A and B are shown apart, each in its own frame.
Chain A
Amino acid sequence: MSNNDESESLLELRHITKIFPGVKALDEVHFELRRGEIHGLMGENGAGKSTFIKIITGVHSPEAGEIILDGKPVEFKTPVEAQKAGVAAIYQHVTCYPDLTVAENIFMGHEKTSGFMKRIDWKATHAEAQRLLDQLDAKFSSYERMGGLSVARQQIVEIAKALSTQARIIIMDEPTAALTQHESEELYRITEGLREGGVSVIFISHRMEDIQRLADRVTVFRDARYIGTWPIGEISQDKLIVAMVGREISKMFPKRHIRLGEEVLRVENLTRVGFFRDVSFTLRRGEILALTGLVGAGRTEVCESIYGVFPWDAGRVFVAGKPATVRTPMDALALGIGYLPEDRQKQGLILDWAIGKNITLPSLGKYSRLGWMDEKAENAAAGTLTEKLSVKTKSIFTRASAMSGGNQQKVVVAKILTNELKVIILDEPTKGVDVAAKAAIYEIIGDLAEQGYGVILVSSEMPEVLELSDRIVVMKEGRVTACLDTAATNQEEILHAAMVIDVAHDSAARSGEAYHGRA
């Protein structure tokens, strides 16, 4: 820990309670941030972290409790007041103006002006922006267009923006979620640099390695309550997980022995020009086939073609032994192929709708007669599925947008299950969901295989691929590079098939870092 002598409290929150209709989002929560420390904040989705940030940044006001800054009680009624007090937040999905330059983005809202007309002083703007970027060791210019930068670099710009407002407290909300390993390292270095400069950082992350690597102390929330704060050296990973989940996840991956049935899907030399070539594999009843490879290897594209979103150009697909033509998702569903899309919010759900209506969307025909909706049958079916998948909700009339990521994902799974299917394709089903929800989803995947579905699991997470699947198909740059038996392979072999051979090939070497070895 740096500057120990000064490690008195900078910001303290005491007994903070925030109530939304029907939900206590925060219940008497404590938090203490010291000068020049990186403070990890962990908790499952729905534990209250987001609400907590919104209280520090002045978006919400708490119903009870006090905020103490520099030893004095303060009240942030608006985000502007919080910003003036030196609080800045950097969100998971960077919010920026893609068509403006880096410098314009940094000074948006507090432009450097000169003279009576308040003209923007471009020279000073760019000089100051460049100074901030240099301070962060950024290797790009303040004249670059924001939209042309990688997510990692956009985050650096956001940090520069926070510094430009003289922020003393910087909150980072899952900043590494969208970064490669290498980019994460870069971010760690910058964050450490901020600490050296006396800035206090609240670092929120689901990734253990982020917290282990960076944080001085870590605080855990669970079910809207404060669980505890520990110096990072004094708590093990296992104990942290117990603190977050409230019980031990002894078996994240329940092993099941399922007798495989006949072949349900065969793909032969499937090609979509510009995306993938000559992709072949088979899938049997009760089998879990992992489709893995680096981000951008063409896995999602293959699945979307089989599901008819973007039809294939050449090759053949057989469903239950019969040649199949799939030009639209309707064809796929009629053949018994279901697909859980990668982006559950944009492709999987109608966020403003109740979960019940969401669930029945793909099978309106089943819950209607001659075009008339049978709402009773519809609601009954939705209720049964939400119960079966243990979606945490009181009623099927809860809006999808009001649910946590893991529960939203369960709703999307429920959607798929309304159809009579043989094959279920799950595209990154555990992306962005917390530990407990992950375990629940793994259990659902196991159940699906047990019920006789053929399951294709698209995943970049090694533990998932290795523990859940029966066989593994590895893709690289649009081609299948290996078809492995899970019992007889290991992480090295998969990584080898996914990335190497052609070391000189720059793109493969670079994107190789997109692999996250651990959940």
Chain B
Amino acid sequence: MADDTGIRIDIRKRWNWREFFFQWEWLLVLIFLGVHVVNSFLSPYYLNLDTFISTPSTFLDKSFIVFPMMFVIVLGMIDISVGSIVALSAVIMAVSFNAGLPMPAAMLLCLAVATTAGMINGFLITKFKELSSVIVTLSTMIIYRGIAYIILGDQASGRFPEWYSFLGWGRLFGLPFVVVCFILCAVIFGLILHKTRFGRSVFGMGNNGLTCRYSGINTDRITFLVFMITGFMAGLTALFLTSRMGSTRPNVAQGYELEVIAMVVLGGVSTTGGVGRIAGPILAIFIIGFLGYGMGLANIQAPAVLVVIGLLLILSVLAMRVRFKIRKKSAAV
């Protein structure tokens, strides 16, 4: 052809030191270590292996939603109905069990309800393009929580069989069962996001949905699936949360959506879509979790923990900007 291409085009990715050390995750690792240093000053009993193994089971149940929420945010969307889905599916499970349904069936019903709730979100968002995901999930957030109140009223329901508490309190291979499940989910979601066609499409759509549509990607199907999976994972959270608490009420998991979104954003996932890696949100889950635990050790009340999380979020987003500027500068030299 007309051009002089004497050069062979490189198809092997080169290792780049600067890129390696500019990864957002390093900063999160530093914060994570910092939290532990502060915590170990707060309590002399903090630094032992059991702390690291059993503490996570107190905060991991909501983190199941962090994974699918990461997909949602990479798509450039948001799902704020997850807390309500947890409440609705937990309440339906408790009520149907107490009405005579066997517990395994009630648990399946919980997952089915949550998945259906996610599918409704996905359906509304893909069929009515003029509705943004914020509006749709804001509406369903109110509706799902409302239904939970209608079913149970303002009371608790529980009296689950003994074995059900295994989910929240049991151990497998010496690790809390929740932790085992969490690791499993982290691996599965990480592989889906970074190694599959589905994950590639999600990133593509977050960057430029129109290009993906013109490239023959079934964008509606992918959006629908992402919201469906989010619903399912909220159901899983409902199972673990209810097991740990022993009973449920229509007001459980209130504010989960914001904590989950905070973890995803702290993990370096851009809210404009298209950018993020699984390691970030995982680190963020543990940073926020251990931060809350440490402040508990120091007898700092829960509301103060929220203040610290909020500040951390603002600082992290600022740090991201500074990092971006440094990278731009060093790239321009």
Contact = CB atoms under 8 A, between A and B. Distances in A.
Interface of A: 20-21, 307, 309, 328-330, 332-333, 339, 341, 346-353, 356-357, 361-362, 364-365, 368, 371-373, 379-380, 382-383, 386-387, 389-397, 415, 419, 436, 439-440, 443-444
A346 B200 contact: no
A329 B197 contact: no
A348 B211 contact: yes
B9 interface: yes
Sorted nearest first, the 8 A-B pairs with minimum C-beta distance are A395-B10, A383-B11, A362-B215, A390-B3, A329-B216, A333-B216, A379-B11, A368-B197
A443 B2 contact: yes
Majority secondary structure of chain A interface residues (helix, strand, loop or mixed): mixed
A361 B217 contact: yes
A307 B213 CA distance: 11
A176 to B, nearest CB: 27
Interface stretch (B101-109, B167-175, B201-209): B201-209
Contacts of B155: none
A396 B11 contact: yes
Given A309-B214, A350-B204, A390-B2, A371 B10 contact: no
Size category of the B interface is: 20 to 34
B274 interface: yes
B5 A390 contact: yes
29 contacts: A20-B332, A21-B331, A21-B332, A309-B213, A309-B214, A328-B216, A328-B218, A329-B214, A329-B215, A329-B216, A346-B210, A348-B211, A348-B214, A350-B204, A352-B207, A361-B200, A364-B201, A371-B197, A372-B197, A373-B195, A389-B1, A390-B2, A390-B5, A392-B3, A395-B9, A397-B10, A440-B3, A443-B1, A444-B1
B195 A353 contact: no
A352 B196 CA distance: 19
B333 interface: yes
A111 B78 CA distance: 39
A390 B1 contact: yes
A57 to B, nearest CB: 16
Interface string B294-333: 0000000000000000000000000000000000000111
B182 to A, nearest CB: 23
Contacts of A396: 9-11
Interface of B: 1-3, 5, 7-14, 195-198, 200-201, 204, 207-208, 210-218, 274, 331-333
Contacts of A362: 215-217
Contacts of A392: 3, 5
Nearest to B5: A390
A372 B196 contact: yes
Contacts of A419: 216
Contacts of B198: 371
A510 B215 CA distance: 35
Contacts of B12: 379
Contacts of A383: 9-11
Contact of B13 (A341, A347, A397, A436): A397
A332 B1 contact: no
Contacts of B331: 20-21
Contacts of A368: 196-197
Contacts of B201: 364
Contacts of B211: 346-350, 361
Contacts of B3: 390, 392, 440
Contact of A382 (B11, B204, B210, B274): B11
A383 B5 CA distance: 13
A364 B11 contact: no
A316 B169 CA distance: 64
A330 B220 CA distance: 12
Given A329-B213, A350-B204, A394 B2 contact: no
Contact of B11 (A339, A365, A371, A395): A395
B268 to A, nearest CB: 15
B9 A393 contact: yes
B93 to A, nearest CB: 31
A364 B2 contact: no
A330 B216 contact: yes
